[in-house]
Structure 1
Amino acid sequence: MSTQELFVAAACKSLRTGRKSLSASQCLELAAQVSAVDVGLKPALLYDSNGACATQVQRYLSSLQSLQLVSKSLVTLDLSGNSLIINATAVKSNLKQVVDDDSVAVINVCHLLEKPIITDSQRGKLKSIIQELMLHLEGFLQLGEADEPLCVWEQSEDWNLCTVFGLLLGYPVTYWFDQVKSFENCLSMTPLTVFMASAEWQVAGKGHRCCLYSFSVPAALQQETQSKLENWQLCLQERFEQQEFLKDLSISQSSVTLPSVCL
């Protein structure tokens, strides 16, 4: 079997929900994303291809590892029922940088605000969450139970998962809102600048591009976050030059204004 066929077979076997399995194109897109995590181009991938649970995602990951298609550094994280495939080394490095260098802008989008604002009031809480995540990850790796997902449920009940996902996925900006008061936000009809990074996955042949990153920044705050955006782009380009699995990196930006934004 070719490498493409092995990736497709592993996904179809492990990630089936009911009688339905992923299509070949979905399998290859997932494989490209997982490969990007494996080589450190992105620290994590939030699995949303279908309703497969974390155990199934880990089964898929273990299958790829047994076939030596990806490395043992990949781990499945079950965060309150949300499955992420993470590169343990890249996640630890990225979270440490967030704590040490203040490399991520936190944007308050609470529904009571007239417009989004950059906030520093959540820094202490975020550092506490990061430290707790790091402890869970390090303890899990020491136990050597990589055939099972790392489950973080009870501890994350009070976490704003939108914010945490932004941190884990390596975004230079992440949104925060007071979920105790409401899950709504003030981004309705707010001009947003959407940043997207994509690359060509060599395994699937010429022309198969995958989206590595896609995140937004309120246009009014783009200048204030510019240094963090530039640092993110520079670091991504440096990591891209250190690997050979993906080619032709493209980073673009576009403008959107939507009647509602779901976070």
Structure 2
Amino acid sequence: MMATRDVIVAATQNCLSARKKSLSLLRSLDLFSQVLAVDLGLKPALLYDANCASSEQVQHYLSSLQSSQIVSESLFTLDLNDNTLIVNKEFVLLHIHEILNCGSVGVVDVSHLLKSPVLFDQSRGEFMDMMQKLQLLIQGCERHNPEPLYVGEQCEEWNLCTSFGVLLGYPVTYWFDQNKSFENCLSMTPLMVTSASATWKTDATSHTSCLYSFSIPVDLFKKSQSILKHWNSRLKERFEKQHVLTDLTICQTTVTLPSVCL
């Protein structure tokens, strides 16, 4: 395991340095545990935000881990409007299929002209069209692709906030009419924040990472209970099928913020 940790840290330092700075040991281990969660199918994707490394650097990092056989070949790098994600192709396609056929994700309209957030009708054309295009895009991604999958003009009309929520596996994601404004109506709105964390043990130590963190307006919490319950049970079910990460912890807190950036 020590050798594995050395490979992980080396891959991080060799591939992900930005502005002549490398990630610390703690952040290197945190990043890898997130990648591991994606590889194990505990989440469809992760959004890379550790530093200013490019999509090409993240792809190089992922390829290094794959060549060392630490993670599988099912992972690929997605560049969505200059935002970099590491994606589990099989799991994300299953996730999108469930959304298209079962409505397994709640969508909350937080457009700034609303007095308060409301549940979004998922049958609306723009949401279904985005899901279908995202599905086709990922289906076309070739295995062992040495380059990131770039999404350029295809995503110009997409609400990226919504697409990120879907790709990251949140049971609830936000939507707003970006053609009118990028502002939202979440200011001073009580939000229920759900977090899920797990522990990866390495040599004599262990590292705990947050796998999920998402919110839903408190006023819509009861209406979303079935979706949240389904997400909770599925996560626990998948977690029990693997033996790499341990100590799954799911907790909830309520916050009210003067402004919320999406």
TM-score normalised to structure 1 length? 0.96
Tell me the CA shift for residue 126 of structure 1.
1.8
Could you list the runs of 5+ residues in structure 1 that have no partner in the other structure? none
Equivalent residue number for residue 13 of structure 1? 14
Could you list the runs of 5+ residues in structure 2 that have no partner in the other structure? none
Contact 2:59–2:148 at 8 Å: present in 1 too?
yes
Equivalent residue number for residue 27 of structure 1? 28
Equivalent residue number for residue 68 of structure 2? 67
Equivalent residue number for residue 116 of structure 1? 117
Q: Look up the SS of the partner of 1:62 in the other structure.
A: helix
Q: Count residues with an aligned counterpart.
A: 261
Moved over 6 A (4+): none
Equivalent residue number for residue 180 of structure 1? 179
What letter is aligned with 1:164?
S
Contact 1:200–1:206 at 8 Å: present in 2 too?
no
Q: C-alpha separation between the residues in 2 aligned to 1:171 and 1:204?
A: 31
Contact 1:28–1:204 at 8 Å: present in 2 too?
no
Tell me the CA shift for residue 123 of structure 1.
3.4
Deviates more, 1:118-127 or 1:72-81: 118-127
What letter is aligned with 1:214?
S
Percentage of identical aligned residues: 54
Tell me the CA shift for residue 18 of structure 1.
2.2
CA RMSD of aligned residues (A): 1.3
Q: Look up the SS of the partner of 2:223 in the other structure.
A: coil
Q: C-alpha separation between the residues in 1 aligned to 2:210 and 2:203?
A: 14
Q: Look up the SS of the partner of 1:184 in the other structure.
A: coil
Tell me the CA shift for residue 89 of structure 1.
0.4
CA gap 1:246/1:129 in 2 versus in 1, 3 angstroms: same
Contact 1:77–1:150 at 8 Å: present in 2 too?
yes
Q: Look up the SS of the partner of 2:23 in the other structure.
A: coil
Equivalent residue number for residue 233 of structure 1? 232
Q: Look up the SS of the partner of 2:140 in the other structure.
A: helix
What letter is aligned with 1:222?
F
Q: Look up the SS of the partner of 1:250 in the other structure.
A: strand
Matched, 1:3 2:37: no
Q: Look up the SS of the partner of 1:208 in the other structure.
A: strand
Tell me the CA shift for residue 204 of structure 1.
6.2
Contact 1:109–1:186 at 8 Å: present in 2 too?
yes
Equivalent residue number for residue 168 of structure 2? 169
